[in-house]
Amino acid sequence: MDIHHLKYFIEVARQKSFSKAAVAAHVSQSAISKMIKDLETDLGVTLFNRNSKSVQLTDAGVIFLGQAQQVVSMFNNLTTEFENEFKLEKGRILIGLPPVTEATVFAQLLGEFRKKYPQIDIELYEHGSKNVELRVQEGTLDIGVVCNIPDDAVYESFSLTNDPLRVIIHLDNPLSRLSEIDLKDLANESFVIYRDDFSLHDEIIDHCKMVGFQPRIIFETSQRELMVQTVAANLGIAFLPSKLCAELSSKSVTSIPLASPQIWHQMSVIWKKGRYLSHAAQLWLSFAKKALLQGESVIDK
């Protein structure tokens, strides 16, 4: 016996006809007749008196009808309540992002999301891109923001920004007077670079090797401000995305475009391919995509 048996039984009792019940339920008359027969066999009673003109409930059928109607009503309410609960815009999302991310941009994006979905909590975790990828793959983060091109065999993703790096350099350095700098011109400079759990760490080193030198790294950090302060002390040069260079507060440093080859700060949103995502996480992804496509977000492509 299942819920379909009960629904068809109720329909036959309502229509007082197997043929009319079959039409109303969009099934064949033989299917209805078989289900009622199976139901009577399971219960060990006759539910309907059948004759050539009509179908009437037996005494047992009258009793069972009341119980069946209660069960079907409870089932329908259960389904509706579950769907309503599931579709409630609430929950928690775990998002990982690297410290080099434009904080103001994400604060504004997340603030707009919070206005629209006040019952959804977002927990942010700061890691380098490599760690963000690992944690998304392990399932300890729902969504990640990374500064590289994601592996599409492992992750679903969409692009947020594609921003060229600029060279952060002290004003006393003769290179600071150039309108643009080739990477090979930095061969004799000391580098302040991102920690090795950042994708940009490998990206910068690989590009330096590509133009013929191994960079002399004096300091690795995940803190943007500390990176700028080290350059302001004239201890070396560093690299920042062009959008962040507009926020430089030190009067002793400047930023210069990196001309050849360019290194890009590519930001993407990732989530693990094939992994279940909560309704809340799906709402965030949909919100972010829509904001980007419609130009409503403060994030510039």
Query: At residue 58, does pLDDT exceed 70?
Result: yes
Beta bridge partners of 297: none
Report the pLDDT value the prediction gives residue 296, as an integer from 0 to 100.
46
Overall CATH class of domain 91-160+266-294: alpha beta
- Answer yes or no: is pLDDT of 297 > 60: no
Quick: pLDDT tens for 224-235: 889 999 999 999
Mean pLDDT of the chain: 85
| pLDDT for residue 130 | 85
Q: Is the pLDDT of residue 104 over 80?
A: no
Domain-wise residue ranges, the chain = 3-87, 91-160+266-294, 163-265
**For residue range 131-162, what is the model confidence (pLDDT) as tens digits?**
899 889 888 899 998 887 788 889 999 887 78
Q: What is the CATH number of domain 163-265?
A: 3.40.190.10
Residue 187: band (very low, low, confident or very high) from pLDDT cuts 50, 70, 90: very high
CATH of 3-87, one of 1.10.10.10, 1.25.40.10, 2.60.40.10, 3.90.1310.10: 1.10.10.10
The reply to whether 163-265 shares the fold of 3-87 is no
What confidence score (pLDDT) does residue 83 get? 54
Report if pTM > 0.85.
Answer: no
Res. 204: pLDDT tops 80: yes
The stretch 189-207 carries a mean pLDDT of 90
Asked whether the beta carbons of 298 and 291 are under 8 A apart, the reply is no
pLDDT at 167 over 90: yes
Comparison of pLDDT for 121 and 83, the residue scoring more: 121
pLDDT band at 84 (very low <50, low <70, confident <90, very high): low
Look at residue 86 in the predicted model and tell me its pLDDT: 56
